Chains A and B, each alone.
Chain A
Amino acid sequence: MIWSMLHEALEAMIANRMRSFLTMLGMMIGVGAVIIMSAIGAGAQEAVKQSIASMGSNLFIVLSGSTTSGGARMGSGATPTLTIGDAEAIAELPSIAEVAPIASGMAQVIYGSNNWSTTIMGSTPNILTVRNWTMESGYSFTDADVRGATRVALIGKTVAENLFGDENPVGKMIRIKQSPYQVVGVLALKGQSLDGRDQDDTIIVPVTTAQHKLFGSQFQGTVRLIMAQAVSADQMNEAENQMTELLRQRHHIRDNKENDFSIRNLAAMAASAADTAKVMSLMLGAIASISLLVGGIGIMNIMLVSVTERTREIGIRVAIGAHERDILLQFLLEALMISIFGSMIGILLGVGGAFIAENFLSMSVIFTSQSILTAFGVAATIGIFFGFYPARKAAKMEPIDALRFQ
């Protein structure tokens, strides 16, 4: 019985091709939109997650504070107040796992006939742990290099490509501000940071080298910032308090004076960025769901028209012995078929659209079979939900009224 009803539903659909197609279109667009939107949302969330991971976890950035000179307040880091000594002291704190001081600036870099302007970061080998950086080839410089202020450099992927092209940079000599440096390693690809900077466009040298040989006059024994990694996520608050106390002591700041440094909690920033991405993907999904709902209303509309048009047919069926449930099931199946066909095409549209977004608009998209199944399930539910009222209207029709209908 169910098979002959399915067959009839299919025939009814084919008999009104144009109408069925237009009704389905609503479902196609709805399901397609849900799938594209959730794929883009998930992609964006994943991208944010990756850039958070690339930044390093449980991170603090300690910046030199703003100072007042002649009434004008300077921005953070304007006056270098942090030293390598501060960094070493922070490293002693029990809530801190790793510390890396950074003295950075821009410089022109030359290899052979190529040159490139990039950020030079002076730091310690710890920077790799703190920033969650791995080596693609070669080795990192060591603490001995920091102590000896040797001229060695780790270069990022972007720098490697611009200076060396296909050549292997490890062991080659480059010139930074006219002085020769040996490339000892290439950093693995990291991609964009949360604020969109290219994290691979950088060179890392020992912090002492940067202080004394590269930016000598700028950093007289000081660093621009200190990166500190807490032992764990739940020790972040403690770590911040301990660092503040320690630095105030070391900088001899009286109780009524402001800090001459500032501490930024990158984990909190990351969490808020992740929240933003999540809210955005939820919103995309919600907007797409509205079009699915509109598609469902379209089904209901067309089924109501169909029931009215086929009043006489319903009368005939009832006269020859159709039960209420037979009529109900017949119209419900028609609605369900339209929504399921529509959503199947919608899934193809969604996948296709997301493919285009990924390959031609270079957006990151992520499909989950869950999102596809959900869209499909919701579409089927909508078919039943919006098909039920018209189907019930058909089933409850009085046979003599239905037969009299012209």
Chain B
Amino acid sequence: MTHFVINIKNLTKNYETVAGVVPVLKGIDLSVSSGEFLAIMGASGSGKSTLMNILGCLDTPSGGIYELNGTDIQSLDKNSLASFRNSMIGFIFQGFNLLPRMSIIDNIALPLVYAGIPKEERIERARIMLEKVGLGLYGSYRPNQISGGQQQRVAIARALINRPKLILADEPTGNLDTKTSEEIMTLFSDLNTQEGITIILITHENNIAQYAQSIVHIHDGKIDFREPTNRMEERIK
């Protein structure tokens, strides 16, 4: 039996509004095994962002089971969730979300600050990561001094630095042009194929989703269907 990084059973999420309880996720079943590259697609309002927040331990489900790396996250308190995010998950956002006052190196090393790693090791590991995403010369720059594509590479380096079990990328190419988007997606699939990093990608663009191995379509809070991508089909052939 393959090791599941993510194991979700009958996951529900309701939001309470003035109009009453609004169900956003209505029973999701999903398993992601180690080394998988999965894209989650859906129209806006389909619940994919909510699912993403729950997967990233930023939000808690209303019902059902969510196990991340074998741990039921509903059993964790706020503090343990923070540690869990720190060690298990690497986030990549549409808007890059780098801290503007910090140098690139310090941005990349920030998760290690919260992991309690000593300074020399932090900087050393951040340099290696920066090298890996191809920005070795930019360590002392500030985020606003480099391009959007470069900023996203920095964000990827930051997501990877604490060797997470899972990378969560929420519309990572949403703010980038086509050419840069291709470069970033190539970096993702390289990380996946060469280093076996588990990636969950949220997007609404089909051509971006095609970089993954399989696509899960979400519609109205439920999983519509799951299909292998063209790339996978080609590879199988």
Interface positions, chain A 1-20, Cβ under 8 Å from B, are 1, 3-4, 8, 11-12, 15
Are the C-beta atoms of B87 and A321 separated by less than 8 Å? Answer: yes
Are the C-beta atoms of B111 and A321 separated by less than 8 Å? Answer: yes
Q: Nearest Cβ distance between residue B91 and chain A, in whole angstroms?
A: 5
Q: Nearest Cβ distance between residue A192 and chain B, in whole angstroms?
A: 59
Interface positions, chain A 292-332, Cβ under 8 Å from B, are 312-313, 315-324, 326
B88-116 vs A, CB cutoff 8 Å, 1 = contact: the mask equals: 00010100011101100000001101111
Interface positions, chain B 175-199, Cβ under 8 Å from A, are none
Q: Nearest Cβ distance between residue A326 and chain B, in whole angstroms?
A: 6
Are the C-beta atoms of A400 and B87 separated by less than 8 Å? Answer: no
Contacting residue for A400 out of B53, B93, B101, B116, CB 8 A: B53
Are the C-beta atoms of B114 and A326 separated by less than 8 Å? Answer: yes
CB neighbours (8 Å) of A318 from chain B are 58, 82, 85
Q: Is B124 an interface residue (CB 8 A)?
A: no
Are the C-beta atoms of B58 and A319 separated by less than 8 Å? Answer: yes
Q: With A and B bound together, what is the CA distance between A3 and B118 in angstroms?
A: 11
Among residues of A, the one whose C-beta sits closest to the C-beta of B168 is A319
Q: Is A399 an interface residue (CB 8 A)?
A: yes
Q: Nearest Cβ distance between residue A229 and chain B, in whole angstroms?
A: 72
Q: Is A403 an interface residue (CB 8 A)?
A: yes
CB neighbours (8 Å) of A399 from chain B are 58-59
Known contacts A1-B113, A12-B101, A323-B114; decide if A403 and B86 are in contact (CB<8 Å): no
Are the C-beta atoms of B82 and A322 separated by less than 8 Å? Answer: yes
CB neighbours (8 Å) of A319 from chain B are 56, 58, 85, 91, 97
Q: Nearest Cβ distance between residue A324 and chain B, in whole angstroms?
A: 7
CB neighbours (8 Å) of B58 from chain A are 318-319, 399-400, 403
Known contacts A12-B101, A15-B101, A400-B53; decide if A324 and B82 are in contact (CB<8 Å): yes
A-B contact count (CB 8 A): 62
CB neighbours (8 Å) of B93 from chain A are 403
Among residues of B, the one whose C-beta sits closest to the C-beta of A316 is B97
Known contacts A317-B110, A400-B58; decide if A323 and B97 are in contact (CB<8 Å): no
Q: With A and B bound together, what is the CA distance between A1 and B86 in angstroms?
A: 15
Q: With A and B bound together, what is the CA distance between A318 and B91 in angstroms?
A: 11
A47-59 vs B, CB cutoff 8 Å, 1 = contact: the mask equals: 0000000000000
Q: Nearest Cβ distance between residue B141 and chain A, in whole angstroms?
A: 16
Chain B interface residue number, banded: 20 to 34
Q: With A and B bound together, what is the CA distance between A399 and B115 in angstroms?
A: 18
Among residues of A, the one whose C-beta sits closest to the C-beta of B98 is A316
Known contacts A1-B113, A15-B101, A326-B114; decide if A321 and B82 are in contact (CB<8 Å): yes
A319-361 vs B, CB cutoff 8 Å, 1 = contact: the mask equals: 1111110100000000000000000000000000000000000
Are the C-beta atoms of A320 and B83 separated by less than 8 Å? Answer: no
CB neighbours (8 Å) of B119 from chain A are 3-4
Known contacts A1-B116, A400-B53, A400-B59; decide if A323 and B82 are in contact (CB<8 Å): yes
CB neighbours (8 Å) of A12 from chain B are 101
Q: With A and B bound together, what is the CA distance between A315 and B98 in angstroms?
A: 11
Are the C-beta atoms of A320 and B78 separated by less than 8 Å? Answer: no
Q: Is B79 an interface residue (CB 8 A)?
A: yes
Q: Is B127 an interface residue (CB 8 A)?
A: no
CB neighbours (8 Å) of B111 from chain A are 320-321
Q: With A and B bound together, what is the CA distance between A313 and B58 in angstroms?
A: 15
CB neighbours (8 Å) of B86 from chain A are 320-322
Contacting residue for A312 out of B83, B87, B97, CB 8 A: B97
Interface positions, chain A 389-403, Cβ under 8 Å from B, are 399-400, 403
Q: Is B158 an interface residue (CB 8 A)?
A: yes
CB neighbours (8 Å) of A313 from chain B are 99
Q: With A and B bound together, what is the CA distance between A317 and B58 in angstroms?
A: 12
Q: Nearest Cβ distance between residue B62 and chain A, in whole angstroms?
A: 14
Q: 11 A-B pairs, CB-CB below 8 angstroms?
A: A1-B116, A3-B119, A12-B101, A312-B97, A315-B97, A316-B99, A320-B85, A320-B111, A321-B83, A322-B86, A400-B59
Chain A residues within CB distance 8 Å of chain B: 1, 3-4, 8, 11-12, 15, 312-313, 315-324, 326, 399-400, 403
Chain B residues within CB distance 8 Å of chain A: 53, 56, 58-59, 78-79, 82-83, 85-87, 91, 93, 97-99, 101-102, 110-111, 113-116, 119, 158, 162
Not counting A11-B102, A323-B83, a sample of 16 additional A-B residue pairs whose C-beta atoms are within 8 angstroms of each other reads: A1-B116, A8-B102, A11-B101, A316-B97, A320-B86, A320-B91, A320-B110, A320-B114, A320-B158, A321-B83, A321-B87, A321-B111, A321-B162, A322-B82, A399-B58, A400-B59
Q: Give 9 closest A-B pairs by Cβ, nearest first.
A: A321-B86, A321-B114, A323-B82, A399-B58, A320-B111, A316-B97, A321-B85, A322-B114, A400-B58
